[in-house]
Structures are given as structure tokens and as C-alpha cells.
Amino acid sequence: AQKITQTQPGMFVQEKEAVTLDCTYDTSDPSYGLFWYKQPSSGEMIFLIYQGSYDQQNATEGRYSLNFQKARKSANLVISASQLGDSAMYFCAMREGEEDSSYKLIFGSGTRLLVRP
């Protein structure tokens, strides 16, 4: 079974509008961490935001926020006031708290976001 599922292969958003990128995860571990990364066409992988399984509040970093719904096992990324420079591939990823596999960052298949002027 897929551990990280991103159901939107591609998304469009109008500049200055907000957009939500979906991510659902599957783990039986009570301790885990969820990450979002941005990858522009140039290739570098940029860390955006982190949410821990025990965090009580949704994470926010500037224009990025994470809509964390633990019971639904979802961790959607919300980008507010989209900018042209937000056009990129976005990956949701997870680290599980199992000692033997905690080093591993499990990636989803990604969502390509295109911001329209």
C-alpha cells in the first residue's frame, strides 16, 4: 500500500489566489513527521514546512500552512497569495518513528503546480 498519496498530478491556480495541495498518508506508527518540499524546474529540493504527529497546532511558515487532520490521515499544504515563483513540483513526505526505518523519507508522487498570471 502507498504510504504517501498525492492524488493531484497537476494543479492550476491564478496568481494571488490560495491553493491547497492534497496529501494523505498511511502509517501504524504513533510517532511520525510530515514534510512538504518544493522542487522548481531547476531541480533543487527546498524544504517548506514540517508537522509532527503529536503537534497540537497546524504548522505555518509564511505563506505556507499545513491543514493537518490526524483522524483522516491528511496533511494538505495551503499556499496563500500564490506567486509566479510558486510554480513547481511539490512533494509530500513522511518519516516514521520506527527506529530501523526512521532515517527514510518516504515521498509521494508529487503535484505539479502552475501559477497563472
96 binds other proteins (CB under 8 A): yes
Judged by CB under 8 A, the residue of 30, 41, 44, 62 near other proteins is: 44
64 binds other proteins (CB under 8 A): no
Query: What angle (nearest 5°) sits at the alpha carbon of residue 105, between those of residues 101 and 108?
Result: 125
Judged by CB under 8 A, the residue of 1, 41, 62, 103 near other proteins is: 103
102 binds other proteins (CB under 8 A): yes
Nearer to other proteins by Cβ, of 15 and 59: the residue is 59
Judged by CB under 8 A, the residue of 23, 24, 32, 111 near other proteins is: 32
